[in-house]
Structure 1
């Protein structure tokens, strides 16, 4: 073994020792955990049709694989925060990762669809812990300035993982069957568990502080009575719901256009790529233009993008590329909107209620996503693509009006 190799190994060992002895959690470990929730959705979307065929169920029933998952995240976010105040952030995070992992393994077994949905619900509960804890732990571990930089890494992971999940989810499902997708989620959850068990120490300083349910209720009631918060959270919830609902009905349209599950995963991943590019553009120009104006522009852009999806029904250009291009444009518009309305929503409330506002906003996004996806499939939007797009266009108009109303307040 060469002297250079020995020095390299020694450097790696020293770095690992520094990480283990660090009082602050690993940013990579927390960022990976934050990507659990979106991975659990994007990795399953390409195999929705395989699930439907395997269980021989209707579109409404297979939609539960997405709806139940989102509902579990929505509800669980409401109690993971208060519970972490009592028992600690680290315990909640590693328990959530373990629950997500176990749920993935159990869902891969040859069980009835009802039991499968229950295991999917468990995955959602675990994913909620992985979604909510990393942001809090970063904020508690680093100062405001440093935490902002660390948060960009976390957000980058949350943007990149859906791309990889959609691309590889369809490929794995098509070659090995949908069960392998859940085995992969089991492995991913286990890796997240190991990373945070090893590299994420406790960050809360005053464990045992109990949060009054009455105080939480009063905070939520106060937030729901503030017009600016309602308008901005409405825009955020509608736009996030668009993406979540597309994960449920887009596979059907891509199949009609001749795309296989693996091809669908690759095409639909353009939505997330567009979102990343939109975020970069927003970061560069939104402060110059104004956050509200840029969000209004983004809402209008999304309306146009959804309208362009109708082109996939035109015979001469009825191609996966046509629809994927419109999805890319939609992702771009989402990137223009979401970060800006999140800042606007949280800045419109009192500082003492920012934590409650953040939790309520996240829950509203998941709830709207679950409800919209189920509504579209229930009315037949999975089979009649124009019907799904009509619903999205109607809500897109609501989003534009909410932006405008918030602008004139």
Structure 2
């Protein structure tokens, strides 16, 4: 570990708390997916905008919290973030119109974004390059439970109550996490001279990061992959349910199958990072994901594509997230350890902002067949692989 103190919790407690923080994005979105039809009927509007607005707020707010965390430490922004998340969740629960819930979803995102962003930064504060990749793989292994349990929990709540109860539950989860943060150590204590510097200087770090190719190559590879991944998340309900006529109650299991793949490869990746350089693992994983999607495109236009093909190759593609996310984030943060908070914010902003691109592209190319979804996924999976194969230079 790089830094620690007497308040550092046990490794298990640290793993659980950081994993829960990393899972905030998935939980905030996936838990109410089963409730979207009911929300659409009650609110009389485009309920998909509640996801888009959340991702917009999530992406933009990170760019503010990142430099702040480098300036004032990691824990204060986390405490503030949980309070904002609780208020936003309660606002969503009390909403009566689509405009109201869209507003409160943005507010909710202002707080939620601190969780995964600062969890990544704390890992970089505490661990070196390879150990950080192992820790991130472990966190992804645990946090992958959220996208599986989220829709199942949301569906059960709907049987007993209305969609409003789902957001009240999120508010309670925010309160629990607020209490858990007390157990975390402050992993980044800025020097007095850093605290005295104008905040404007902290935001200038983004310009330096964007010009740093060794950092950006990892971020761009991750972002392109996540555009493809969010295309699946947004587009798969229509493809599975409307085109292949899968019962809506079974969709969650097909979605969860892919998350199981992420968990398996996160576990494998923990061992691989000890023997193989991070940039080589990233090349391998992005190439596999690209080949899986190009195969689906070929099968579609050769008119051989069936549901089994789709499930198998999407499983292969999505499983690579267990390698790509951990290796790209750890490698990126390792290039700029002195501004890990700002760097983590920029990574998160681009990673989760990619979902906005996916939503827009699917809106323009929406069809009742898998065509638009697999083409968009194939294009961005290829972009991710191409960027990851650019020449690598070891950081001294």
Task: Flag whether TM exceeds 0.5 (same fold).
Answer: yes
Once the two structures are superposed, the pairs formed by residues 10-159 of structure 1 within 5 Å of their partners are: 23-24=7-8, 26-27=13-14, 28-57=16-45, 61-84=46-69, 89-137=74-122, 148=132, 154-159=139-144
- Contact conserved, 1:232 with 1:406, CA < 8 A, in 2? no
C-alpha displacement of 1:237? 0.6
Match of 1:231 in 2: 217
C-alpha displacement of 1:114? 0.9
The answer to whether residue 385 in structure 2 is matched with residue 400 in structure 1 is: yes
The answer to whether residue 167 in structure 2 is matched with residue 187 in structure 1 is: no
Counterpart among 207, 227, 233 of residue 221 in structure 1: 207
C-alpha displacement of 1:207? 8.3
> Could you say what secondary structure the match of 1:381 adopts?
coil
> Could you say what secondary structure the match of 1:297 adopts?
helix
Q: CA–CA distance in 1 between the matches of 2:306 and 2:112?
A: 37
Match of 2:346 in 1: 360
C-alpha displacement of 1:138? 5.9
Q: CA–CA distance in 2 between the matches of 1:160 and 1:284?
A: 20
Cα displacement string for residues 139-172 of structure 1 (whole angstroms, at most 9, x for unaligned residues) = 66x6769985766654433222222224433454
Once the two structures are superposed, the pairs formed by residues 195-344 of structure 1 within 5 Å of their partners are: 195-197=180-182, 199-200=183-184, 205=189, 209-210=195-196, 212-256=198-242, 257-285=244-272, 288-307=275-294, 319=307, 323-344=310-331
C-alpha displacement of 1:112? 0.8
The answer to whether residue 157 in structure 2 is matched with residue 169 in structure 1 is: no
- Contact conserved, 1:249 with 1:382, CA < 8 A, in 2? no
C-alpha displacement of 1:93? 1.6
Q: CA–CA distance in 1 between the matches of 2:339 and 2:76?
A: 25
CA 1:336–1:89 in 2, change beyond 3 Å: closer, same or farther? closer
Q: CA–CA distance in 1 between the matches of 2:131 and 2:278?
A: 22
C-alpha displacement of 1:227? 3.1
CA 1:381–1:228 in 2, change beyond 3 Å: closer, same or farther? farther
Q: CA–CA distance in 2 between the matches of 1:232 and 1:204?
A: 23
Q: CA–CA distance in 2 between the matches of 1:384 and 1:407?
A: 39
Match of 1:12 in 2: none
Match of 1:6 in 2: none
C-alpha displacement of 1:39? 1.1
- Contact conserved, 1:63 with 1:374, CA < 8 A, in 2? no
CA 1:203–1:333 in 2, change beyond 3 Å: closer, same or farther? closer
> Could you say what secondary structure the match of 1:52 adopts?
helix
Q: CA–CA distance in 1 between the matches of 2:102 and 2:113?
A: 17
> Could you say what secondary structure the match of 1:62 adopts?
coil
- Contact conserved, 2:34 with 2:155, CA < 8 A, in 1? yes
Q: CA–CA distance in 2 between the matches of 1:260 and 1:393?
A: 26
> Could you say what secondary structure the match of 2:94 adopts?
coil
Q: CA–CA distance in 2 between the matches of 1:180 and 1:306?
A: 38
Q: CA–CA distance in 2 between the matches of 1:134 and 1:105?
A: 24
CA 1:204–1:102 in 2, change beyond 3 Å: closer, same or farther? same
Cα displacement string for residues 31-90 of structure 1 (whole angstroms, at most 9, x for unaligned residues) = 323322221122233444443344343xxx333222211121211112223334566543
C-alpha displacement of 1:360? 1.6
Structure with higher Rg: it is 1
Q: CA–CA distance in 2 between the matches of 1:163 and 1:339?
A: 20
- Contact conserved, 2:136 with 2:326, CA < 8 A, in 1? no
Instruction: Could you tell me which runs of 5 or more consecutive residues in structure 2 were left unpaired when the two chains were aligned.
Output: 1-5
Structure showing greater relative contact order (alpha-carbon pairs closer than 8 Å, 6 or more residues apart): 2
Q: CA–CA distance in 1 between the matches of 2:221 and 2:130?
A: 29
TM score, norm. by length of structure 2? 0.81
C-alpha displacement of 1:403? 1.9
TM score, norm. by length of structure 1? 0.79
Cα displacement string for residues 279-306 of structure 1 (whole angstroms, at most 9, x for unaligned residues) = 2233333554543333222222212333
Q: CA–CA distance in 1 between the matches of 2:20 and 2:271?
A: 26
